[in-house]
A and B are shown apart, each in its own frame.
Chain A
Amino acid sequence: MSTLSSPSERVWWKTPVERVELLWVGIALVWGIIMTIMMPYWHVVGKQNLSNEAYRTTPEAFAKKTQAMVDQYTVRTETERQFPVVAPPAGSDVYLIARLWDWWPILELENGKSYRLHLTSMDWQHGFSLQPENINVQVVPGYEMVITITPNKAGAYTVVCNEYCGIGHHKMIGKIYVK
């Protein structure tokens, strides 16, 4: 009887299992356990994990904190729209607003130093995609995500939006400088 008809043995669950199948099930089980362990293992030894620190927020509250940082640490402005470039001290809280269709402001960070990066959206969902590192995080309105970031290479980085956010989605790019 083929796969299209009832099993020829009424009590098919008592028929012996083919040895190759047993071997393969064993291999798959061991591999699955290894893959499961890798994730908590990386939380212990790896350097790339999300902290899972997050808060409920509102656009007003987050904009206020961001504005305070911009007022205190702006070092210069760029482009005809006078985008502030902000250089907060190492170890401090830095804020990045995602909105239609900007990443605001520009951050200037020191290589090898850590910062607590706060992210939220003022409107729709956005995607924080740091290029060329290719670090990608979902930015959800109403939620303030905190990630401690430690840049490990100097350079000019681009933040691309990689969650569709309407017709100007492709114009939504920002900058992070690492000195």
Chain B
Amino acid sequence: MATTAEFRTCPDTGLVFHKPAETLMKLNAVAGIVFLLVGGVLGLMLGLTRWPAVHLLPADWFYLLLTAHGLGVLVFWIIFFEIAVLYFTSSTLLKCRLATPRWAWLGFILMLIGSITTNVAIFQGGSSVMMTSYVPMSAEPHFYLGLILFAVGALIGCFVFLGTLVIARAERTYGEGSLPLVTFGALTACIIAIFTIASGAIVLIPTLLWKIGYISYMDPLVYRVIWWAFGHSSQQINVAAHIAVWYAIAGVVFGAKPLSEKVSRMAFLLYILFLQLASAHHILVDPGISSEWKIFNTSYAMYLAVMASMIHGLTVPGAIEAAQRHKGFNKGLFEWLRKAPWGNPSFSGMFLSLIIFGFLGGISGVVMGTEQINLIIHNTLYVPGHFHATVVGGTTLAFMALTYWLIPVLFRREVMFPGLAKWQPYLFGIGMSGFSLFMMGAGTLGIPRRHWDISFSGALFSHDFPATAQLLLGVMGISTILAVIGGAAFIIVAVGSVFFGKRKDPAVKFSMPLIAPSVTVDHARIGFAGVAVPGTLVLALVFLTAFVLYYFVNWKYLSSVWGLS
């Protein structure tokens, strides 16, 4: 049994922190933010290289930094932060001691050693193989070894989370009821993570053995199928985790409760059931795979994972709208939204994350994951355009939003530069939206991804991309700068507050409480025309219209290209 001396009650929120868990949350969050910083600097240099007028880096450095950028932010930043989220949603929200803090430490150390090892391999120069390291191209052995160590560490973190849930249940630390919705969402992320990490081990361990000569042949197609069970599913961890964060911020800022527990939890379950073989999306134009397999695995017959995201896209703002209407902002369609705390970066970051993830990342992802439409999108700049909208505009922005709240609650510091913090989500959100959108536009016009020079210097032949595509790459470069300024503002505020911020004095109350009292809404008494959350419904229908139109525009575009059969 843990003693009460090992716990700290937050005087502002009443949340109970288990001290060993708190230390690990801080360490994982800080390690993540360091990788975000590195990834952001690299991102700036890459963005400036793909801006044809600037074309900053030489080819070898471009590919080297692109490899480091992909792994640094898409894997290391996000998974370190996710481990912090797992410990928070289990230990803190359930008021429970963290299971086996020593194992959690081991996991953290392995992740740290692994991520540094892989980065060393990349910066030594012999492992510029991109994040995907498609065989038969090969990296240095310690490139794979680092990733494997990192994965083992993350897996330990997942089991510490599950162990904590078991202890909390056995000791009834959170009463007799079910898990809080946010913890339930984190559990979804954890289950997907275990599948993901297992896939990563299944593909990377043989690749390492192949590299050092114990295995003679790696089939490149089998590699792609299994690698993407790791590569794509790791992005599904992000989706589940950042949606849990959306719900958490709705709870923290508004005291919101889900419209109904049943629907929100079902939607999380759909992720586990229908996202797993998402690798199909990456091999829609590969040889030797049947259309039946592609169609089934990209849709699971009815796109239930897309439905899950559409549900969250309704229920998260719906829960906020209900709480706001209950508080008296009940006029018209959008008073609840107009009177929302847009100056609170936790809220504005979360809401922008929701919009960017849905409108830019979500729609583009489903469209390009359609078997035939993928023919006109595969491996163009459209693809990174899509996933910067999901992983950066969606996940990273949501995690930034949560960090603003964690600074006083977890780190017990006041947020430094509150004026900068207030604007940061807008800078970053608008910068990333432009970046994603212009990349998708350039990709639609054929610009390839992972390509150092679209003027093909030194090549035997030449090719001119449309002037519009060149222009789009220019505005993409400008958006890169805007997004990087937004990212830098976040790092300045977060690192500044955590290491140099004024200690939070519980006697000093912020203008906004750090945790809103929870509200129980009588849905019959809010909204109008028999609809409790009419504003959210209108937003959802706008989304649906955009989705349907864009989907069919792409079919129309596909129908104009060469016949293929």
Q: Which residues of A contact B (CB under 8 A)?
A: 1-10, 12-13, 15-21, 23-25, 27-29, 31-33, 35-36, 38-40, 42-43, 46-52, 54, 79, 81, 83, 102, 114, 119, 123-125, 127, 129-145, 147-153, 158, 160-167, 169-175
Contact = CB atoms under 8 A, between A and B. Distances in A.
Interface of B: 59-60, 63, 93, 130, 134, 136-137, 174-182, 219-221, 224, 247-248, 250-252, 255-263, 283, 285-291, 295, 298-299, 301-304, 306-307, 310-311, 314-315, 318-319, 366, 370-372, 374-380, 444-446, 448-454, 456-463, 465-466, 515-516, 518-520, 523, 530-533, 536-537, 540, 544, 547-548, 551, 555, 558-559, 561-565
B314 A135 contact: no
A135 B375 contact: yes
A136 B181 contact: no
Given A47-B563, A131-B465, A6 B180 contact: yes
Contacts of B565: 47, 49-51, 147-148, 150
Contact of B444 (A1, A134, A144, A166): A134
Contacts of B463: 131, 158, 160, 173
Nearest to B138: A124
Nearest to B306: A32
A168 B118 CA distance: 24
Identify the 9 closest CB pairs spanning chains A and B, nearest first: A150-B563, A6-B177, A32-B303, A145-B287, A162-B448, A2-B518, A3-B251, A2-B251, A158-B463
B262 A13 contact: yes
Contacts of A52: 288-291
Nearest to A83: B460
B310 A3 contact: no
Given A5-B174, A42-B371, A143-B286, 11 more contacts: A1-B518, A8-B177, A15-B260, A20-B532, A38-B370, A124-B136, A140-B286, A142-B219, A167-B59, A169-B452, A173-B462
Contacts of B302: 29, 32-33, 36
Contact of A3 (B219, B247, B523): B247
Contacts of B289: 52
Contacts of A130: 562
Contacts of B303: 31-33, 35-36
A48 B288 CA distance: 17
Contact of B523 (A18, A79, A132, A170): A18
Contacts of A54: 287-288
A149 B563 contact: yes
A126 to B, nearest CB: 10
Which among A3, A42, A172 has the greatest number of chain B C-beta atoms within 10 A? A3
Contacts of A149: 562-564
Nearest to A150: B563
A4 B551 contact: no
A132 B295 contact: no
B334 to A, nearest CB: 15
Contact of B310 (A28, A39, A135): A28
Contact of A49 (B251, B372, B454): B372
Contacts of B378: 127, 136-138, 162
Contact of A32 (B304, B314, B374, B444): B304
Contact of A125 (B137, B251, B444, B558): B137
Contacts of A174: 461
14 contacts: A1-B257, A4-B252, A21-B263, A28-B307, A47-B565, A125-B137, A130-B562, A132-B465, A134-B445, A148-B563, A160-B463, A165-B137, A172-B459, A173-B463
Contacts of A7: 177-178, 180-181, 261
B461 A158 contact: yes
A49 B559 CA distance: 10
A162 B379 contact: yes
Q: Is the interface of B mostly helix, strand, loop or mixed?
A: loop
Contact of B251 (A4, A148, A165, A172): A4
A153 B562 CA distance: 8
Contact of A48 (B310, B445, B452, B558): B558
Nearest to B60: A167
A10 B176 contact: yes
B182 to A, nearest CB: 5
Contacts of A1: 257, 518, 520
B527 to A, nearest CB: 9
B255 A2 contact: yes
Contact of B311 (A28, A132, A169, A175): A28
A107 to B, nearest CB: 13
B177 A48 contact: no
B372 A46 contact: yes
A134 B177 CA distance: 55
A21 B286 CA distance: 38
A99 B469 CA distance: 27
B261 A12 contact: yes
A123 B138 CA distance: 12
Contacts of B379: 127, 129, 136, 138, 162-163
A14 to B, nearest CB: 8
Contacts of A114: 563
B89 to A, nearest CB: 9
B562 A4 contact: no
B446 A134 contact: yes
Contact of B520 (A8, A32, A51): A8
Given A6-B179, A162-B451, A48 B134 contact: no
A18 B318 CA distance: 10
B562 A152 contact: yes
A8 to B, nearest CB: 7
A133 B564 CA distance: 12
A171 B136 contact: no
Given A162-B379, A170-B459, A20 B537 contact: yes
Contacts of A3: 180-182, 247-248, 250-251, 256-258, 319
Nearest to A151: B562
Contacts of A140: 220-221, 224, 286-288
